[in-house]
Structure 1
Amino acid sequence: MNQQPKFQVSLCPTCGACPEVVLDVAKEAVAIGEEGNLVQLNKKAWNTLVEKIQTGELRKI
């Protein structure tokens, strides 16, 4: 069985209790947050977010 990878990035790498970004390649979806407080983005929404960050439209606050 050929499974697609799932990538996880913690928003606070010093502990395991902070929100994370989970990119599920097989489902073409991204979940951001933590249990009970999640936002789900489809592929198009995720790619739009990444593009806005890369072009500088969204930046650090």
Structure 2
Amino acid sequence: MSLSPACTACPEVEIAGDEVRIGEVGHLAGLKKDEWKLLVDLIQSAPAGPPPDSPFSCFRR
């Protein structure tokens, strides 16, 4: 799945059992669901949110 279907810069996300994998071949990160939720919370709570050119720009409010 994509973080945002309208965003071509977003990394792919795969949920497999108790793990969330984000990235692409050669650049994958595996996070437990709690770690993923913490990452999303930290990105969303940043004072200015993620930079517009960040792969996490889909999390902008």
The TM-score with structure 2 as length reference comes to: 0.55
Question: Unaligned 5+ residue runs, structure 2?
Answer: 52-61
Identity %: 36
Higher normalized contact order (CA 8 Å, seq sep 6+, divided by chain length)? 2
Q: How many residues were matched structurally?
A: 47
Question: Unaligned 5+ residue runs, structure 1?
Answer: 1-7
The TM-score with structure 1 as length reference comes to: 0.55
More helix by share: 2
Pick the structure with greater CA Rg.
1
More strand by share: 1
Contact 2:43 2:50 in 1 (8 A): no
Runs of 4+ aligned structure 1 residues displaced above 3 Å come to: none
1:30 aligns with 2:24: no
